[in-house]
DNA sequence: GAGCACTGC
């Protein structure tokens, strides 16, 4: 096709007409033009619309007309730039960090001195540790972490450089006699240059040792501003930014880039790199246009700072109902507020109440089921009120209390309010208590319901608000003595639901196919796929990758991102990165995306209709995690994830009939699926005598309550009358399972509290300490066995923690040892908290390490004697209490050398009934520590002696 | 020789 015809076709395509003189004119101007932009400018002068289509046209035209030399030279220039950039980057990477002289050096030296002063000897350190205030302690930990990273980087740097040097030498030796292509030679030279730069940089480093730490995404307590920025950004409600028009434009843009790349493929041989460059060019160009427009928008926002906050507040759906709502609160002591997400209830109601003066009589408490929610909402409200977070508006969560005497609006996790009940059972410092997200029915919310209901009857000056997102509030209303219901409409987009025609045999396969279908046939918008667990997510990821690999660039780019709770945080953060132009994000998620985190830009949801749910069997004391169908409420919640920014679609991988007939209306509340040991202890300490008569909204199974009471009795936390003993009262202070707090109390007698607390903290974070990636499973196992201690898993955990502490809490040590940094860090936080509580209940913490491991094991016997199992002649373990057959979990260090008597930390049902975390015990100890529970004949060992060795293997 | 949904104190 000749140029003129081509232009003429384009003209017709864009303007709907084609005149010969225009064609000529265009050809002329574009020959002179030096860039596509210049052509574009001329074209718009000539009444072309200034849009994507014209831009593409201009670019195509420029590519067609410019003499190849020009393009190549411009390519070379930009290539040169790219090379330089790469050199810089790689050199940086090699040396790890940028130099920021002087200040960093000084800071670093100061830090060194300060820490040296604080940490003289190990013993001194412990002593100091206890003397320090919370803030100092945190600061020290933080500083030590930074130092340890510096230390690591220092050591790493020469190693890296050395490695690179040897690599270069190898290359030179191996390829000495071979003929190299031009590119290979260039590559080699480039590498040499990078090496030189790195060396040079390293030299500078010796002069000025300094590093800049990367900004952490989360859990960075040293840098609260960064942290709150993330929180704040996350909380600000998503506005319907992408209009239909914009979506359409975006789609057109994608096509344009796409077509462009595809068309030039014919020339690929000659201009392999040229092509790449051109495509980038288009993308960059687009970005520029985009960023310009968004830039001016944000400028405008900055100009109007101040008033817009109030304006924004008035724009929320709840604003219209402000006066009616306040009147309703005035007239009723208990009010149920129904409002969907986006109505603004969480942030606005406490502010309204403050505005009309409720805070004169006491604080306003607002509970959230999750820590992040409490923090981010508090950050938002303090911003709206223009006060500093922690002053008038604050939050209180475990490990972190950001409130002061000034605080009048306090956001806190529901568990925290429950703890406050223990200090002040009448909550006298509060004038309003708002239980938010009540529909989630967490364990703590359910208990608060019972306590608050009672309290509302007793305290006439207390206002209680129960806020929920469900429309089914009749039950709630009748529970709270027929409290009135106030409904606030929500603001979200329509989501269309699609069901399968017939039940799917393999939902994973179906999910993958649906994803691909959406990807090729639906307009832009990210996809969120709900699956049940990590394993499935990894499988789906694999399947999607293999199936798209063959298609190459025939379909648009698909970015597959997994998300689940145990995924390392840097990988988790990736899902919040914006989707690049022309690509589609596919997020494979567990339930975590249902409530805990929201991802913007999701237009399509695929819902497999299942989730993993834990349940507790009080008879055997066994927990199990089983894949179960979700409830209708959950299905709606999942679908709602598609309608946050624009109208969306939800593809349900089950039939409409199943939805209507097979799914439960609501999920089973947590209180009916869990061990209630700790809860019963709390309620007892609040003076509730008859738990069976406690006013639960959905009472737990009586067996569960009875088992919990029995356990507490056997632990001597309750007396014969079922009253709390002195021991029990002290145990209730600890936010851990009563069996565990009993161990701590016992350890007090043996003088090994320090060790026992460490173990309890490690046990509390669950079995997520050891990281075991599939591809390096064997390696990880070997390292884990390196930590093994003969006593069993508890002592192994103690060993892990101590070694971690030796490494100054280094995260690099964790990486090398296949330990999950996040988990062990959390264990350390828990440990700190438990140590603090020990002081409060006057439990002495030993300063010197306890040398007798048996004392540590005996402490655990006194708490966990119910969980005794004996190896029988059959080679199987049976629990002593009800002769239930159980197995040692293969992850245990005792797996290869089964002892006769063990106590286990927990029983889990997966493929078999496994005991997780076991220690070897002497049956004599059990008799000694729990004489009321065991009889001598229970613990006789006769059958075993006749056994030939290794029979059980 | 195996498997860890998600929270929270």
Look at residues A470, A532, A522 and name the one whose alpha carbon lies nearest to residue A498. A522
Residue A906 has pLDDT above 50, yes or no: yes
- Protein residue closest to B5, using CA and C1': A612
Asked if strand B contacts A413 at the CB level, meaning under 7 A, the answer is: yes
Can you tell me the mean pLDDT for A205-233? Answer: 40
Using the CB atom, is residue A397 less than 7 Å from strand B?
yes
Residue where the block lists tokens 């209303």: A477
- Measuring from the CA of residue A565 to each C1', which nucleotide is nearest? B6
What pLDDT does A282 receive?
A: 23
Mean pLDDT within A561-566:
87
CB of A415 lies under 7 Å from some atom of strand B: yes
Residue with CA nearest B3 C1'? A910
- On the question of pLDDT at A836 being above 60, the answer is yes
pLDDT at A223: 47
Q: Which two tokens stand for residue A398?
A: 């475990």
pLDDT in tens, A407-432: 999 999 999 999 998 888 899 999 99
Q: Which residues 283-312 of chain A have a CB under 7 Å from nucleic chain B? A: none
User: A472-497 pLDDT, tens per residue?
Assistant: 788 889 999 999 999 887 777 888 88
Strands A885-888 and A877-879: antiparallel
Return the ∠ at Cα A678 (arms to A673 and A679), rounded to 5°. Answer: 65
Percent of chain A with pLDDT over 70: 73
Angle, CA of A156, A160 and A161, to the nearest 5°:
120
User: Pseudo-torsion of CA A220, A735, A346, A466, nearest 10°?
Assistant: 170
Contact predicate A624/A617, CB 8 Å: yes
Q: Which tokens go with A705?
A: 């309550």
Residue pair A764/A774 in contact by the 8 Å Cβ criterion: no
Task: Write the DSSP symbol of residue A770.
Answer: B
Handedness of CA A796, A798, A800, A806 (dihedral sign): negative
Distance, in Å, from the CA atom of A877 to the CA atom of A886, rounded to the nearest integer, reads 5
Contacting residues for A472 by C-beta, under 8 A, at least 6 apart: A665, A666
Burial of A620 (C-beta count, 10 Å sphere; 0-12/13-18/19+):
middle
- Range of lowest pLDDT (A148-162, A317-331, A867-881): A148-162
The answer on pLDDT for A548 being more than 70 is yes
pLDDT (0 to 100) of residue A79: 53
In angstroms, what CA-CA distances link A45 with A66, A110, A213, A292? 21, 63, 50, 21
Which alpha helices (H) appear in A175-269, and where do they start and end? Answer: 182-207, 224-235, 244-263
Q: Is the CB of A613 under 7 A from strand B?
A: yes
Percent with pLDDT over 90 in chain A: 25
List all residues 6 or more positions away from A216 whose beta carbon is below 8 Å from its beta carbon.
Answer: A223, A226
Query: pLDDT higher for A730 or A140?
Result: A730
Average confidence score pLDDT of chain A: 77
| Smallest CA–C1' separation from A678, nucleotide | B9
pLDDT reading at A879 higher than 80: yes
Residues whose CB falls within 8 Å of the CB of residue A846, separated by 6 or more in sequence, listed in order: A751, A752, A753, A754
Average pLDDT over residues A327-352: 88
Query: Within 7 A of a protein CB, which nucleotides of strand B?
Result: 1-9
CA–CA separation, A146 and A473 (whole Å)? 51
Residues near A432 by Cβ (< 8 Å), separated by ≥ 6?
A350, A353, A358, A362, A363, A364, A365, A462, A463, A464, A465
- List of A residues 657-696 with CB within 7 A of strand B: 678
Tokens of A732: 């209730």
Inform me whether the pLDDT recorded for A258 exceeds 50: no
Which chain A residues 504-563 have CB under 7 A to strand B?
A: 532-535
Residue A874 and residue A891: Cα distance in Å, rounded?
A: 22
In this complex, the nucleotide whose C1' atom is nearest to the CA atom of residue A670 is B7
Is strand B less than 7 A from the beta carbon of A876? Answer: no
Across residues A638-665, what is the average pLDDT?
87
Strand partners, A563: A589
Q: Which of residues 619-658 of A touch strand B (CB under 7 A)?
A: 625
Tell me if A680 sits within 8 A of A731, measured CB to CB: no
Predicted pLDDT of residue A155 = 59
pLDDT tops 80 at residue A632? yes
**Choice among A111-125, A142-156, A594-608 with the minimum mean pLDDT:** A111-125
pLDDT the model gives residue A352: 92
Spell out the residues 6+ positions from residue A715 whose beta carbon is closer than 8 angstroms to its own: A728, A731, A738, A739, A742, A863
Q: What is the pLDDT of residue A272?
A: 24
Mean pLDDT of A497-511: 83
Q: Which nucleotide is nearest to A398 (CA to C1')?
A: B9
Q: Which of residues 161-190 of A touch strand B (CB under 7 A)?
A: none
Q: Which nucleotide is nearest, taking the CA of residue A413 and each C1'?
A: B8
The pLDDT value recorded for residue A216 is 31
Q: Which residue is nearest to nucleotide B1 (CA to C1')?
A: A890
Residue A882 vs residues A599, A621, A877, A878, A899: alpha-carbon distances, Å: 48, 11, 12, 8, 20
Residues of A (346-365) placing their beta carbon closer than 7 angstroms to any atom of strand B are: none
> A896 CA to B1 C1', in Å?
10
Q: Which residues contact A556 (CB under 8 A, 6 or more apart)?
A: A254, A258, A519, A582, A583, A584
The 8-class DSSP code of residue A592 comes to: G
Q: What does the longest C-alpha to C-alpha distance in chain A come to?
A: 110
User: Cα-Cα-Cα-Cα dihedral of A861, A819, A909, A371, to 10°?
Assistant: 90
- For A88-144, the three-class secondary structure string (H helix, E strand, C coil) is HHHHHHHHCCCCCCCHHHHHHHHHHHHHHHHCCCHHHHHHHHHHCCHHHHHHHHHHH
Count of CB atoms within 10 A of residue A297's CB?
9
Q: Render pLDDT for A53-70 as a digit per residue (tens, 0 to 9).
A: 787 778 777 777 765 444
| Pair of tokens at residue A767 | 């079995």
pLDDT band at A157 (very low <50, low <70, confident <90, very high): low
Question: Who wins on pLDDT, A375 or A472?
Answer: A375
Residues 6 or more apart whose CB falls under 8 angstroms from that of A626 comprise: A612, A613, A614, A615
Cα gap A388→A386, rounded to integer Å: 7
Cα(A262)–Cα(A281) distance, integer angstroms: 15
Distance CA A289, CA A276 (A): 20
Question: Who among residues 809-828 of A has its Cβ near strand B, under 7 Å?
Answer: none
pLDDT tens digits, one per residue of A774-808: 777 888 888 888 898 888 899 999 999 999 998 88
Question: Looking at the C1' of nucleotide B8, which residue has the nearest alpha carbon?
Answer: A415
Residue A504, pLDDT above cutoff 80? no
| A467/A337 Cα distance (integer angstroms) | 5
Residues 101-160 of A with CB under 7 A from strand B: none
The stretch A224-240 carries a mean pLDDT of 43
Which whole number is the average pLDDT over A429-458? 92
What 3-state class would DSSP assign to A366? strand
Q: Which two tokens stand for residue A916?
A: 């997780």
What's the first-to-final CA gap in chain A, in angstroms? 79
Q: Is the shortest CB-to-strand distance from A416 to strand B under 7 Å?
A: yes
Q: In the 419-448 stretch of chain A, whose C-beta falls under 7 Å of nucleic acid strand B?
A: 419, 442-444
Which residue's entry shows tokens 């040897």? A166
Please count the CA atoms within 13 angstroms of the CA of A586 that sit on its side-chain side. 26
Model pLDDT, residue A147: 62
Residue A890 has pLDDT above 80, yes or no: yes
Question: What residue has token string 């109007």?
Answer: A304
Residue A615, CB, strand B, below 7 Å: no
- What percentage of chain A's residues is helix, strand, coil (to nearest 5)? 55, 15, 30
Between A856 and A215, the more confident residue is A856
């Amino acid at each position: 096709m000749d140029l003129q015809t081509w232009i003429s076709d384009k003209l017709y395509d864009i303007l709907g007409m084609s005149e010969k003189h225009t064609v000529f004119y265009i050809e002329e101007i574009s020959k002179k033009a030096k860039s596509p932009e210049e052509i574009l400018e001329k074209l718009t002068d000539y009444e072309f619309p200034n849009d994507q289509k014209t831009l593409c046209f201009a670019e195509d035209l420029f590519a067609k007309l410019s003499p190849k030399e020009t393009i190549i030279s411009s390519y070379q220039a930009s290539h040169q730039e790219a090379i330089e950039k790469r050199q810089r980057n790689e050199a940086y990477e090699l040396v790890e960090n940028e130099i920021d002289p002087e200040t960093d050096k000084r800071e670093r030296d100061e830090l060194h001195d300060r820490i040296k002063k604080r940490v003289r000897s190990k013993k001194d350190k412990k002593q100091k540790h206890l003397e320090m205030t919370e803030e100092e302690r945190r600061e020290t930990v933080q500083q030590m972490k930074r130092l340890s990273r510096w230390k690591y980087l220092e050591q790493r740097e020469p190693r890296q450089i050395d490695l690179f040097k040897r690599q270069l030498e190898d290359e030179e030796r191996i390829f000495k006699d071979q003929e190299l292509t031009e590119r290979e030679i260039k590559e080699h030279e480039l590498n040499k240059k990078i090496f030189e730069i790195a060396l040079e940089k390293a030299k500078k480093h010796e002069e000025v040792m300094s590093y800049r730490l990367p900004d952490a995404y989360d859990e960075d307590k040293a840098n609260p501003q960064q942290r709150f920025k993330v929180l704040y950004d996350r909380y600000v409600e998503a506005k319907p930014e992408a209009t239909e028009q914009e979506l359409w434009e975006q789609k057109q843009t994608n096509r344009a880039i796409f077509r462009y790349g595809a068309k030039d493929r014919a020339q690929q041989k000659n201009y392999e790199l040229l092509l790449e460059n051109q495509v980038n060019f288009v993308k960059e160009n687009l970005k520029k246009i985009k960023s310009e427009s968004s830039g001016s928008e944000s400028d405008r926002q900055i100009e109007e700072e101040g008033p817009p906050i109030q304006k924004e507040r008035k724009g929320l759906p709840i604003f219209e109902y402000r006066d009616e709502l306040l009147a309703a609160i005035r007239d009723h002591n208990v009010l149920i507020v129904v409002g969907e997400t986006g109505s603004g209830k969480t942030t606005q109601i406490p502010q309204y109440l403050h505005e009309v003066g409720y805070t004169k009589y006491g604080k306003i408490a607002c509970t959230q089921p999750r820590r992040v929610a409490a923090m981010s909402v508090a950050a938002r409200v303090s911003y709206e009120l223009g006060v500093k977070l922690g002053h008038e508006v604050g939050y209180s969560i475990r490990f972190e209390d950001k409130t002061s005497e000034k605080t009048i609006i306090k956001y806190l996790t529901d568990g925290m309010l429950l703890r406050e009940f223990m200090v002040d059972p009448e909550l006298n410092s509060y004038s309003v208590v708002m239980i938010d997200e009540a529909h989630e029915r967490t364990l703590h919310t359910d208990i608060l319901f019972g306590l608050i209901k009672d309290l509302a009857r007793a305290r006439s000056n207390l206002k209680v608000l129960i806020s929920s997102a469900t429309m089914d509030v009749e039950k709630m209303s009748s529970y709270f003595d027929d409290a009135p219901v106030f409904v606030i409409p929500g603001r979200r987009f329509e989501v269309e639901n699609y069901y399968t025609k017939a039940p799917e045999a393999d939902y994973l396969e179906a999910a993958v196919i649906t994803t691909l279908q959406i990807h090729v046939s639906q307009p832009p918008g990210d996809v969120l796929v709900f699956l049940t667990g990590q394993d499935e997510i990894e499988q789906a990821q694999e399947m999607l990758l293999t199936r798209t690999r063959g298609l190459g660039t025939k379909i648009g780019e698909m970015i597959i991102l997994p998300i689940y709770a145990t995924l390392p945080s840097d990988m988790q953060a990736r899902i919040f990165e914006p989707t690049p132009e022309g690509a589609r994000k596919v997020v494979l998620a567990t339930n975590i995306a249902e409530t805990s985190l929201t991802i913007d830009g999701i237009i399509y949801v695929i819902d497999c209709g299942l989730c993993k749910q834990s349940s507790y069997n009080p008879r055997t004391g066994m927990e199990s995690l089983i894949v179960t169908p979700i409830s209708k409420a959950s299905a709606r919640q999942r679908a709602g994830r598609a309608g946050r920014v624009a109208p969306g679609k939800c593809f349900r991988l089950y039939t409409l009939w199943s939805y209507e007939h097979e799914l439960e209306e609501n999920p089973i509340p947590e209180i009916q699926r869990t061990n209630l040991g700790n809860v019963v202890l709390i309620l007892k300490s609040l003076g509730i005598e008859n738990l069976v008569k406690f006013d639960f909204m959905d009472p737990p199974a009586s067996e569960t309550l009875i088992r919990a009471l029995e356990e507490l009795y056997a632990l001597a936390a309750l007396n014969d009358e079922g009253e709390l003993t002195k021991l029990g009262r002290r145990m209730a202070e600890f936010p851990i399972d009563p069996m565990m707090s009993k161990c701590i109390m016992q350890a007090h007698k043996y003088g090994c509290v320090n060790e026992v607390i460490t173990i309890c903290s490690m046990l509390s974070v669950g079995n997520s300490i050891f990281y075991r990636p599939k591809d390096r499973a064997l390696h990880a196992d070997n390292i884990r066995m390196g930590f093994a201690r003969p006593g069993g898993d508890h002592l192994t955990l103690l060993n892990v923690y101590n070694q971690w502490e030796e490494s100054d809490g280094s995260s690099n040590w964790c990486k090398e040892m296949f330990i999950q940094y996040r988990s062990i860090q959390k264990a350390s936080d828990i440990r700190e908290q438990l140590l603090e509580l020990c002081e409060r209940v006057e439990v002495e913490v030993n300063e010197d390490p306890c040398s007798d491991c048996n004392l540590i094991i005996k402490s655990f016997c006194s708490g966990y004697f119910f969980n005794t199992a004996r190896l029988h002649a059959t080679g199987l373990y049976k629990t002593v209490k009800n002769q239930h057959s159980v197995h040692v979990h293969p992850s245990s260090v005792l797996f290869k050398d089964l002892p006769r008597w063990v106590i286990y930390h927990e029983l889990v049902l997966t493929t078999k009934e496994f005991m997780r975390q076991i220690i070897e015990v002497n049956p004599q100890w059990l008799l000694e520590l729990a004489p009321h529970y065991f009889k001598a004949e229970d613990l006789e060992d006769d059958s075993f002696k006749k056994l030939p060795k290794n029979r059980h293997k």
